[in-house]
Chains A and B, each alone.
Chain A
Amino acid sequence: MNPWPFVIAAYAVTIGGTAAAFIWAWLAMRAAEKAAAGLRRER
């Protein structure tokens, strides 16, 4: 059995999953901190 498709799939799901979680966390943080800063300015 050729092992490379399994190796490539394992790397792809790990890199893709980690990148997706990182981007999701960064976007959520940016949106939340922007909303907090916006309210501070409104005060």
Chain B
Amino acid sequence: MHGFANPTRFLAIARPVTPWLAAAGVLLAGYGLYAGLFLSPPDYLQGETVRILYVHVPAAWLGMGGWTGIAVASLAQIVWRHPLAGVAARAVAVPGALFTALCLLTGSLWGRPAWGTWWQWDGRMTSMLVLLFLYFGYIALANAGDERSGVSRATAIFGLVGAVNIPIINRSVVWWNSLHQPASITLGGSKIDAAILYPLVFSALGFTLIFAAIVLMRMRALLARAKVEARLRRMAAA
């Protein structure tokens, strides 16, 4: 991990990788969404509404995965003082918040025809909304600090403590009686038929690669801005 501690070495890898991640992500997500809309069959109970699965589930995974990334990066910053950890955590925050908001929006659009309501204050939806507010708090804290590219120690601690919400989201459908269905895909396997499942694999992988490309671009922007600021400060001091 410390092999990437040098920003120059990181940039030498990130620059060529970014367009490939983006291109592969667009192709995979594009095919996944096409197959989800036109090739997969309707569900025997939910009918055509089930097609929202192919955008809702990747958004939920990336919203939760984003905060998990922030927590891991925050730990690396606090414990190992990894110089790029704060930059990575800060870069994840905005796309993580976006996909959490998309999960809530698409969930609401799924809930109306499936449950007859746009919103329910149950464990899953409320804990996901809390995650969105955690992202907003993290972004505000990160922008308030005077760090040139990374985040302050207080922001990193916030990122670490906020991770307590991730297992709550994951277990919410088990702990509380909810309109939201229990997990269909677990580490033990999937309860979804292969004809409905395969577009989800493509769209989840595609959106993950697009998310990674956005994070790399955000990191490159933060590092470049830090370089400009440092140079301007040196010029002002000279």
- Chain A residues within 8 Å of B, Cβ to Cβ: 1, 3-4, 6-7, 9-11, 13-15, 17-18, 21-22, 25-26, 28-29, 31-33, 35-36, 39, 43
Contact = CB atoms under 8 A, between A and B. Distances in A.
| A-B complex: 8 closest residue pairs judged by Cβ atoms | A32-B224, A14-B55, A25-B217, A29-B221, A36-B224, A32-B221, A3-B49, A10-B106
Chief secondary structure at chain B's binding surface: helix
B52 interface: yes
Given A22-B22, A25-B217, A29-B218, A6 B49 contact: yes
Contact of A7 (B49, B102, B220): B49
Interface of B: 22, 29, 33, 37, 47-49, 51-52, 55-56, 59, 94-95, 98, 101-102, 105-106, 109-110, 112-113, 207, 210, 213-214, 217-218, 220-222, 224-225, 227-228, 231-232
29 contacts: A3-B48, A3-B49, A6-B49, A6-B52, A6-B110, A6-B112, A7-B37, A7-B52, A7-B109, A10-B52, A10-B55, A10-B56, A10-B105, A10-B106, A11-B37, A13-B105, A14-B55, A17-B101, A17-B102, A18-B207, A28-B217, A28-B218, A28-B221, A29-B218, A29-B220, A29-B221, A33-B220, A36-B225, A39-B227
B91 to A, nearest CB: 9
Nearest to A38: B228
Contact of A17 (B52, B98, B213, B224): B98
A32 B101 contact: no
Contacts of B218: 25, 28-29
B207 A6 contact: no
Contacts of A14: 55, 59, 102, 106
A8 B84 CA distance: 39
Contacts of B228: 32, 35-36, 39
B97 to A, nearest CB: 10
